[in-house]
Amino acid sequence: MSLRDLARRGVALAYAGSGASARARRRLDGSRALVLMYHRVLPAAEARRDAVEDGMFVTPETFGRHLDWLCDRFHVLPLHEVVERLGAGRPLPAGACAITFDDGWRDNVEHALPALERRHLPATVFVVTERMGTEGAFWPDEVCRRLGPLPAPARAALAVRLGADPAHEPLAGVLERLKGLSEPERERALDALREATPAPAARPRELLSWDEVERLARGGVDVESHGASNAILTHLADDAVLRELRTARERLRERGHGRHHLFAYPSGAYDERVLRIAREVGHRAALTVERGLAAAGGDPMRIPRVGLHDDISRTRAEFLWKAVPAA
């Protein structure tokens, strides 16, 4: 265990011992709910092999512990029920919580669903409709898989060539830089990365198929929209945003999903224009990646969430510290 891990666990234990953790949970008093955000549930060896970012996964063991702690200290509800109650001003049970997953990874059905089913817990997955059943992952994963194996000096030099801030860690700097580019600019940067690095090894399919989505739905997981292609909407023109959202919504509806008209902004990126178009398309609530609690009287198109990943939430004290924001 690293010194950083020991320090974080010490802070988490002190937070719990001071009573701050219990006080934070008392904020879930019926007028607020905790919405948790996950992406991947993967064994650590697979995450290392596939160069998955630390902030993108929990192991099945950690996820199972999270669910046990939720069963012990919280009241897990379907996300759509949380949205409906908050919007109607109806009280929630104390400790109300909802579980969400972004992107639509195959490991959600392989590792997350069995853990949810064993505990009879609901969840919601936000899927990218054009990527269902396709090979490969998303462009941030390609960046990780191409930069990760390089020697540190080469990685740093290439990151600077791609426009990353040299003061940042190279991988994080490249991801931040590319997220700020328009779609054509990002594709040019990715082409430069591809020319400078070997192609990653082929991997088994990583994204959900429609058949696997049906398996999730039978297991009590609602399936809602994360857009058609996972494009960062704030970089698109109005007509392109409309196509992204409408196409994804229609595809889900054709297959009997998207019943609760919920949406998660890809990469958490939105502005007033994107929010307006999402409403026009028919979404009645949308989730951000902004940290906080969903509250009665809040804007349903700006619902905050709390993202959890493995390296910050392995112990009970760390989980309770990270899961519920203090006032």
Mean pLDDT on 78-83: 98
What's the pTM?
Answer: 0.96
- pLDDT by residue (tens digit) across 127-167? 999 999 999 899 999 999 999 999 999 999 999 999 999 99
User: Can you give the residue ranges of every domain in the chain?
Assistant: 3-136+203-323, 139-196
> Residue 29 pLDDT > 80, yes or no?
yes
> Residue 115 pLDDT > 70, yes or no?
yes
Task: Give the mean pLDDT of the chain.
Answer: 95
CATH class of segment(s) 3-136+203-323: alpha beta
Alpha-carbon distance 183 to 323, whole Å?
Answer: 33
Q: How high is the pLDDT of residue 16?
A: 85
Q: How high is the pLDDT of residue 14?
A: 86
> Residue 12 pLDDT > 90, yes or no?
no
Mean pLDDT on 17-38: 94
Angstrom CA distances, 174 to 91, 156, 157, 318, stand at: 44, 10, 11, 29
* Amino acid in the structure at residue 127: V
* Cα dihedral: 99, 103, 105, 110 (round 10): 20
Residues 43-51: contacts with CB under 8 Å, at least 24 apart = 43/111, 44/310, 47/310, 50/141, 50/145, 50/203, 50/206, 51/141, 51/144, 51/145, 51/148, 51/149, 51/200
- pLDDT by residue (tens digit) across 210-236? 999 999 999 999 999 999 999 999 999
Quick one: which of 223, 257, 214, 219 has its CA closest to 115?
219
Q: How high is the pLDDT of residue 3?
A: 74
> Residue 1 pLDDT > 70, yes or no?
no
> Residue 289 pLDDT > 70, yes or no?
yes
The residue among 197 and 325 whose pLDDT is bigger is 197
Chain CA centroid to CA 150, Å:
27
